[in-house]
């Protein structure tokens, strides 16, 4: 297993401080603050540690403050409800004595029911697409140094945009984006681990879809962006060490906020999860 993937798994495996209280560390991946997906994944780990024989089916979270990558994060779990089929947990992430994030997650005992799903978009498969690291090598002079640092670090996941030229372009375009993801190495048969890693990756490039119609690159100095909230629904089991298509769209931007949605499919076309996020999108000087 690659060093970056091993490190990510260890990062999401929190230290137990006492009953319902856990502690996690952070990694600098080139952002000025803690990556939102890290906090999502760690909070889900904390909630899952208080659950038995049930799996998460939804989570709803708010990002309250920027996370400090140089300080540990403490996660406090409130066991809000344990019913006959469902359990609900509330999680607060704390740094420097202040909450930076809160989340509610619902867990369900596995059962059968009605089945239908959205159709997977008709896009090229991942086999013949460029990885994000290859895209950086292909256009080194057109990518700012600070952006190259973010895109070039050793990643735990392979990331292959369906249309790489639009992935980095600043031309006005439709607010739709398709990206294939897969863990760099095989992972253990632990469904909870795969869900935590999926939550971690669900924050990647989601909000940036809302900038596409406006000819703005997410790394532009004049652009201030921050995740405000994040919701996720886990429909069916999946493996993140197999290719997953993240299909993003943005139905609205207004009031210095943008809304983006995502549908996550496996290669067989099975819808495994959905996600949505609203974030701050402020153009400085406007």
In-domain check, residue 121: no
Is 277 labeled as catalytic in the residue annotation?
yes
In-domain check, residue 256: yes
In-domain check, residue 236: yes
The answer to whether 235 touches 84, Cβ cutoff 8 Å, is no
In-domain check, residue 116: no
pLDDT at position 198 is 97
Asked if the model's pLDDT at residue 286 lies above 70, the reply is no
The answer to whether 170 touches 188, Cβ cutoff 8 Å, is no
**How would residue 142 be classed by pLDDT, with cut points 50, 70 and 90?**
low
Write down the mean pLDDT value for the chain.
90
Mean per-residue pLDDT for 7-20?
96
Query: Which of 53-62, 202-211, 215-224: highest mean pLDDT?
Result: 53-62
User: What percent of the chain clears pLDDT 90, i.e. is strictly above it?
Assistant: 74
More confident residue, 129 or 28: 129
* CB neighbours of residue 113 within 10 Å: 4
Question: Active site residue: 42, 95, 227, 263, which one?
Answer: 227
Coil vs helix vs strand at 230? strand
pLDDT at position 285 is 74
In-domain check, residue 237: yes
Mean per-residue pLDDT for 114-129?
96
In-domain check, residue 118: no
Strands of the sheet with 73-82, listed across from one edge = 15-18, 21-24, 73-82, 86-95, 98-108, 55-63, 223-234, 271-283, 257-266, 244-254, 176-183, 157-161
**How would residue 88 be classed by pLDDT, with cut points 50, 70 and 90?**
very high
CATH number at residue 58: 2.40.160.210
In-domain check, residue 47: yes
**How would residue 216 be classed by pLDDT, with cut points 50, 70 and 90?**
confident
In-domain check, residue 119: no
The number of folded domains in the chain is 1
Question: Active site residue: 26, 203, 241, 260, which one?
Answer: 203
More confident residue, 250 or 30: 250
Mean per-residue pLDDT for 211-217?
83
pLDDT at position 1 is 61
Q: Retrieve residue 204's tokens.
A: 């990647």
Tell me the pLDDT tens digit for each residue of 157-175: 999 999 876 555 556 688 9
| 65 phi and psi angles, rounded to 5 deg | -145, 160
More confident residue, 34 or 167: 34
Q: Which domain holds residue 199?
A: 3-111+126-283
Question: Active site residue: 95, 106, 263, 277, which one?
Answer: 277
């Amino acid at each position: 297993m690659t060093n970056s993937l091993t490190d990510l798994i260890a990062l999401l495996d929190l230290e137990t401080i006492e009953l319902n209280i856990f502690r996690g560390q952070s990694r600098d991946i080139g952002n000025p603050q803690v990556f939102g997906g890290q906090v999502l994944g760690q909070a889900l780990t904390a909630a899952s540690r208080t659950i038995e024989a049930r799996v998460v089916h939804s989570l709803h979270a708010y990002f309250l403050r920027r996370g400090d990558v140089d300080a540990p994060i403490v996660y406090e779990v409130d066991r809000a409800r344990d019913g006959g089929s469902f359990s609900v947990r509330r999680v607060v992430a704390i740094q420097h004595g202040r909450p930076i994030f809160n989340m509610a997650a619902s867990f369900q005992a596995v059962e059968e029911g009605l089945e239908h799903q959205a159709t997977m978009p008709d896009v090229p498969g991942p086999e013949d697409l460029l990885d994000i690291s290859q895209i950086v090598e292909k256009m080194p002079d057109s990518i700012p140094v600070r952006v190259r640092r973010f895109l070039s670090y050793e990643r735990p996941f392979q990331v292959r945009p369906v249309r790489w030229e639009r992935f980095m372009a600043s031309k006005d375009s439709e607010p739709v984006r398709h990206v294939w993801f897969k863990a760099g190495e095989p992972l253990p048969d632990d469904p909870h681990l795969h869900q935590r890693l999926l939550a971690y990756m669900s924050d990647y490039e989601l909000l940036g879809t809302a900038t596409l119609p406006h000819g703005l690159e997410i790394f532009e100095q004049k652009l201030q962006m921050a995740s405000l909230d994040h919701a996720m629904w886990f429909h069916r089991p999946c493996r993140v060490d197999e290719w997953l298509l993240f299909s993003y769209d943005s139905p609205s931007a207004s009031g210095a906020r943008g809304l983006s949605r995502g549908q996550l499919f496996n290669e067989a076309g099975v819808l495994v999860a959905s996600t949505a996020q609203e974030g701050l999108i402020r153009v400085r000087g406007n």
